Amino acid sequence: MCSQTSHSPVDYLVIGHLTQDITPSGPVLGGTTSYAALTAAAMGLRVGVLTTYPQGENLPELANVQVAVQPTARATTFENLTTPQGRMQIIHHMADALQPEMVPFAWRLTPMIHFGPVAHEIPESMLDIFPDAHLGITPQGWMRRWDVQGKISKGNWSNAARYLARASAVVLSLEDVNGNEETILRYRSETKLLVVTEANKGARLYFGEQMHHFEPPAIREVDATGAGDIFAAIFFCHFFQTGNMTAAAQLATLAAANSIARPGLKGTPQPAEVRQYLAEINETT
């Protein structure tokens, strides 16, 4: 069980599986939690991660954040394959699910919570632990389905209505919903604020009857892995802190676009880059 006494309060808590991603150069740390945690830390926040991960595995990439780990036999493991039909994603292993009792006491009053599932690991009961927090959700992991060979496909988001009603903001990609505009229309009617990212086309922000589009700068792509998670973390942190949704979307669009110029977790912004992006946004407003 995660220790209930060894963690100090944090400003931003991201919940979900850390993953091992199989790459041509070997396994690397991945998952929404890793990208979001490093991004929030670059914004100057005290960051916590609640996850399950194999006992004894080192996590040097997350040295600047607090990690509450429930030991599990195998990490959730993904592999991306290039096929003539496009990218195919495989899930090879699945870590144990997270449970509400795993949340350290010191983190139960965290003001900003980010649910970042990758494979259905966060139960609906986790909502009850944080009744007063700003809640950001990236629901991609609740939309994944896989067959007996582990081949992943997109499916419906079960129990979406309760999550959407509780969320302060939801960020998902057009790919997550297979480009289905009817699904987007339904989600935007059921939640306070919805952002739909569209890769190199930028992002749409929906609030009530309003829709704003944010255009990204043109950046040469090296690796787009984690760009959506970086966008979400930047957006949630800035919006929850300032209440300015358009500035948050501008900042997130700029940071996510620049992240693709570096591979993997190296794409997460540095504190100096966050300050630079903020200065650029302030010059245009």
What is the span of the domain harbouring residue 127?
12-280
Name the residue with tokens 């790919």. Answer: 175
Is position 110 within any domain? yes
Is position 4 within any domain? no
Is position 229 within any domain? yes
Six token digits for residue 270:
């540095």
Domain of residue 213, CATH code:
3.40.1190.20
Amino acid 285: pLDDT: 62
Is position 1 within any domain? no
Q: Is the dihedral of CA 225, 228, 231, 232 positive or negative?
A: negative
Is position 243 within any domain? yes
Is position 3 within any domain? no
pLDDT averaged per 10 residues, the chain (length 285):
68 98 91 98 98 91 95 95 79 97 96 98 97 97 96 93 97 95 96 96 95 95 94 98 97 97 95 96 77
Amino acid 14: pLDDT: 98
- CA–CA dist 176, 194 (Å, integer): 13
Is position 2 within any domain? no
Is position 40 within any domain? yes
**Three-class SS string for the chain?**
CCCCCCCCCCCEEEECCCEEEEECCEEEEECHHHHHHHHHHHCCCCEEEEEEECCCCCCHHHCCCEEEEEECCCCEEEEEEEECCEEEEEEEECCCCCCHHHCCHHHCCCCEEEECCCCCCCCHHHHHHCCCCEEEECHHHHCEEECCCCEEEECCCCCHHHHHHHCCEEEEECHHHCCCHHHHHHHHHHCCEEEEECHHHCEEEEECCEEEEECCCCCCCCCCCCHHHHHHHHHHHHHHHHCCHHHHHHHHHHHHHHHCCCCHHHHCCCHHHHHHHHHHHHHHC
With 0.85 as the threshold, say if the pTM is over it. yes
Residue 115 · residue 15 · CB < 8 Å: yes
Please give the tally of structural domains in the chain: 1
